[in-house]
């Protein structure tokens, strides 16, 4: 009887909570991506003025509910001196979103180095990985931007990181954090991946 009542309580009053890191270089579009996510998945969230978003120093937190799953996002600062703090959050994370600014070709090598160091951590083994290739306008205009790297370009540049990605769920996806195009698809993909990843069970949180 207790087991039945416990299961009923969890179904009625609790959500499975998954923690997702949002990483990448400073000014790559991480916080803008988070704001678009909260706006699209939270009915009563009005969002901040995207043009007023500044470089994250420390941590931004956001939460959304998708069905019975609750995603808590940790948007971490991407400055070189702050990247050393990323691994403090790895053990509690269920997924990683690594944002790349595909209009910033000059820093692509720097972004790759940070990505490779992150993905090499054994603590993140098996954790789903979403790589939004963010551009500063609608991704439908991607082909009209002369300095914009395509998804194919990103995959080629990061190709030698593939062995370290391993067999985990991984998706490299074009998106525009400013217009929000591509954000829904990426988040819905991440939700499916964290739910089916039996190696990182969710935390139980009361519905509020």
Backbone dihedral angles phi then psi of residue 184, each to the nearest 5 degrees: -55, -50
What is the distance in angstroms between the CA of the first residue and the CA of the last residue of the chain?
26
The answer to whether the beta carbons of residues 145 and 101 sit under 8 Å apart is: no
Q: Is 78 annotated as a binding residue?
A: yes
Residue 6 in any domain: the answer is: no
75 is in an annotated binding site: no
Find all residues with CB under 8 Å of 140, minimum gap 6, and list them. 181
Rounded distance, CA 134 to CA 147, Å? Answer: 13
User: Who's near 105: CB < 8 A, 6+ residues apart?
Assistant: 147, 149
Q: Read off the CATH number of the domain in which 142 is found.
A: 3.40.50.300
Tokens 């991440």 belong to 190
Higher pLDDT, 142 or 67: 67
Residue 25 annotated as binding? yes
Residue 180, annotated as binding a ligand: no
* Residue 43 assigned as binding residue: no
Q: Is the pLDDT of residue 133 over 50?
A: yes
Question: Is 28 assigned to a binding site?
Answer: yes
Residue with tokens 């990323």: 86
| Predicted local distance difference test score (pLDDT) of residue 12 | 53
Residue 111 C-beta-side C-alpha neighbours within 13 Å: 27
3-state secondary structure of 116: helix
Crossing angle of helices 30-41 and 183-196, rounded to 10°:
80
Indicate the pLDDT class of residue 38, thresholds 50, 70 and 90: very high
pLDDT band for position 55 (cuts 50, 70, 90): confident
Most confident stretch, 173-177, 182-186, 187-191: 187-191
Residue 1 domain-assigned (yes or no): no
User: Is residue 3 in a domain?
Assistant: no
In a domain, 4, yes or no: no
What is the number of residues in the chain? 208
Q: How many domains does the chain have?
A: 1
26 annotated as ligand-binding: yes
Q: Is residue 38 part of a domain?
A: yes
Cα-based torsion angle of the residue sequence 149, 25, 177, 46 in order, rounded to the nearest 10 degrees: -170
Reported as a pLDDT band with limits 50, 70 and 90, residue 188 is: very high
pLDDT at 99: 94
pLDDT at 103: 85
pLDDT of residue 7: 44
Three-state DSSP class for 10? helix
In a domain, 156, yes or no: yes
Segment 124-130 shows an average pLDDT of 96
DSSP class per residue in 133-190: EE-SS-GGGGGG-TTPPPHHHHHHHTGGGHHHHTTS-EEEEEE-TTT-TTHHHHHHHH
**Residue 84 domain-assigned (yes or no):** yes
pLDDT of residue 44: 82
Q: Is residue 7 part of a domain?
A: no
Average pLDDT along the chain: 85
Whole-number Å distance between alpha carbons of 126 and 195: 13
Q: Which residue segment(s) compose the domain that 165 sits in? A: 19-206
Q: Is 24 annotated as a binding residue?
A: yes
Total-model pTM:
0.86
**Average pLDDT value for residue range 72-90:** 96
Reported as type and span, the H/E element at residue 170 is strand 170-175
- Hunting for tokens 């217009």 — which residue is that? 179
132 in Cβ contact with 95 (< 8 Å): no
**Residue-level pLDDT at 6:** 45
Integer-rounded Cα radius of gyration of the chain: 17
């Amino acid at each position: 009887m207790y087991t039945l009542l416990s299961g009923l309580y969890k179904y009625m009053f609790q959500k499975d909570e998954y923690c997702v890191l949002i990483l990448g270089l400073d000014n790559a579009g991480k916080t803008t991506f988070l704001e678009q996510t909260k706006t699209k998945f939270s009915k009563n969230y009005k969002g901040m003025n995207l043009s007023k978003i500044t470089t994250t120093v420390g941590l931004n937190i956001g939460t959304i509910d998708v069905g019975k799953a609750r995603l808590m996002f940790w948007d971490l600062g991407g400055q070189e001196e702050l990247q050393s703090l990323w691994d403090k959050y790895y053990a509690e994370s269920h997924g990683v979103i690594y944002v790349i600014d595909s209009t910033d070709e000059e820093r692509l090598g720097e972004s790759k180095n940070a990505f490779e160091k992150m993905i090499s951590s054994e603590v993140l083994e098996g954790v789903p990985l979403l790589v939004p290739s963010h551009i500063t306008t609608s991704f439908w205009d991607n082909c009209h931007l002369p300095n914009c790297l395509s998804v194919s370009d990103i995959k080629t540049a990061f190709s030698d990181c593939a062995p370290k990605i391993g067999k985990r769920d991984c998706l490299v996806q074009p998106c525009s954090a400013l217009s929000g195009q591509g954000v829904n698809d990426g988040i819905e993909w991440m939700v499916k991946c964290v739910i089916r990843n039996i190696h990182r069970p969710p935390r139980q949180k009361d519905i509020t």
